[in-house]
Amino acid sequence: MNAAKVLDDLKRRFPNEPEYHQAVEEVLSTIEEEYNKHPEFDKANLIDRLCIPDRVYQFRVTWVDDKGNVQTNMGYRVQHNNAIGPYKGGLRFHSSVNLGILKFLAFEQVFKNSLTTLPMGGGKGGSDFHPRGKSAAEVMRFTQSFMLELWRHIGPDIDVPAGDIGVGGREIGFMYGMYKKLTREFTGTLTGKGLEYGGSLIRPEATGYGTLYFLMEMLKTKGTDLKGKVCAISGSGNVAQYAAEKVLELGGKVVTLSDSDGYIYDPDGIDREKLDYIMELKNLYRGRIREYAEQYACKYVEGAKPWGEKCDVALPCATQNELNGDHAKQLLENGCIAVAEGANMPSTPEAIKAFQEAKILYAPGKAANAGGVAVSGLEMTQNSYRLSWSREEVDAKLKSIMQNIHQACVQYGTEEDGYVNYVKGANVAGFMKVAKAMMAQGIV
């Protein structure tokens, strides 16, 4: 494989999809050496078949808003690769959603799911529908209409969607209700369901908790832990909230959170009571992070990211490309020793380069945030068995999966000087399993 040529071809065939190109480039640059040790891979043109999704569904979603106006949005499902299990990956509802973004997420998901060791292929979907400012009735009408198209493409052994940005328990519930009505089946086709109808304990917490379990493993390699460490977190949604909760449990201090409007800086630390306020503000009232600064009289910075604030650990948990080269420089100058990504691809290539050149601990999302999909996989297992595991059982399995992913990264990513390149480790480990499965299944 010539990685540069593969990437040029993809850019020519699929122009105007920069995030997809960015995700592919990162993976190719790290697996090229390993790939080229296997001439049989090239003979089977494995790389094109791995980079290009199996199929993409695109559809119009029509719904009626509260004023009686007819609205249209686009809906998508990218089924990227099912070599090791049914397609699996979240649905994102956000105004920025387009095919290129979903292709990057689906591509990443293939490697992430492989790393979990559970039998799950990779997919992703969503819509440019923006839930912010919409009433609950509007969200329900939209999600029902979305499912009217999506249902025929998914199923417990075909494709199992979950949540992502803009899709939480409420949206999954509405979609599951419509799916059930259309198919007349009660199966585990969506994950992130409510506990009353097949959801798994720890699923809401899983991505944030998993990121912290991974971070703890990284810190352990340096003989340290989180006690007394100052953490900067971005986002204030599902992943950020439970990352913050686990930081508190592990003895760290959270000083920032953000949303798409700006960030708050609380030098005293966001304690349990303040975090409860944020959870209520965000999950119940769907308010803005600015309101926290008003409540607790601390700094709020409009239109900026939190990476200029001094911290030991940075946990980007909002969205892609939210931490650039300049931010990375600021973090390093301020003494940051570890970055673990709760979000997908939050660091730009320049930022990753800066972290790795400085040889600090840096974990890419596909390793550090794999806990979410891992517990989704456990939810699928429980649904198939028609039973549910206790909180302690699921949490123990999550912790063990994150430790195994860390171990795989160390195995495949340790460089000659002992530095662990977690990007390389995650990509090579995730890739090899999928590649072997694809080879065994012939040219399809």
- Smallest distance from the beta carbon of 94 to ligand NDP, in angstroms? 6
By beta-carbon proximity to ligand NDP, the closer residue of 43 and 286 is 286
- Smallest distance from the beta carbon of 46 to ligand NDP, in angstroms? 26
**Which residue of the chain is nearest ligand NDP when measured via CB?**
237
- Smallest distance from the beta carbon of 312 to ligand NDP, in angstroms? 22
By beta-carbon proximity to ligand NDP, the closer residue of 166 and 413 is 166
Judged on CB neighbours under 10 Å (0-12, 13-18, 19+), 409 is buried
- Smallest distance from the beta carbon of 314 to ligand NDP, in angstroms? 14
By beta-carbon proximity to ligand NDP, the closer residue of 266 and 435 is 266
- Smallest distance from the beta carbon of 158 to ligand NDP, in angstroms? 21
CA distance 42 to 303: 46
Contact 226, 250 (CB under 8 A): yes
CA distance 323 to 263: 13
CA distance 368 to 315: 10
CA distance 429 to 247: 28
- Smallest distance from the beta carbon of 301 to ligand NDP, in angstroms? 13
Task: Specify whether 124 is catalytic.
Answer: yes
Q: Which residue has the tokens 């003494």?
A: 335
Query: 428, 435, 437, 311: which is closest to 364 by C-alpha?
Result: 428
By beta-carbon proximity to ligand NDP, the closer residue of 35 and 242 is 242
By beta-carbon proximity to ligand NDP, the closer residue of 114 and 238 is 238
DSSP string, 45-105: THHHHHHS-SEEEEEEEEEE-TTS-EEEEEEEEEEEE-SSSSEEEEEEE-TT--HHHHHHH
By beta-carbon proximity to ligand NDP, the closer residue of 166 and 425 is 166
- Smallest distance from the beta carbon of 102 to ligand NDP, in angstroms? 11
Contact 427, 438 (CB under 8 A): no
Given the residues 103, 124, 253, 397, select the one marked as catalytic: 124
Distances (CA, A) of 117 to 87, 131, 278: 15, 33, 34
The contact set with ligand NDP (CB under 6 A) reads 94, 96, 163-166, 168, 207, 235-240, 259-261, 317-319, 322, 342-344, 369, 372
Cβ–Cβ contacts within 10 Å for residue 172, how many?
25
By beta-carbon proximity to ligand NDP, the closer residue of 75 and 306 is 306
Cβ–Cβ contacts within 10 Å for residue 40, how many?
9
- Smallest distance from the beta carbon of 396 to ligand NDP, in angstroms? 19
Q: Strand, coil or helix: what is 300? A: strand
- Smallest distance from the beta carbon of 35 to ligand NDP, in angstroms? 26
CA distance 23 to 441: 25
Contact 86, 121 (CB under 8 A): yes
By beta-carbon proximity to ligand NDP, the closer residue of 281 and 439 is 281
Per-residue tokens: 379: 């939810």
Contact 36, 117 (CB under 8 A): no
Contact 149, 118 (CB under 8 A): no
CA distance 75 to 59: 5
CB crowding 342-354: b at 16 or more within 10 Å, else e:
bbbbbbbeebbeb
CA distance 24 to 366: 13
By beta-carbon proximity to ligand NDP, the closer residue of 252 and 364 is 364
Active site residues: 124
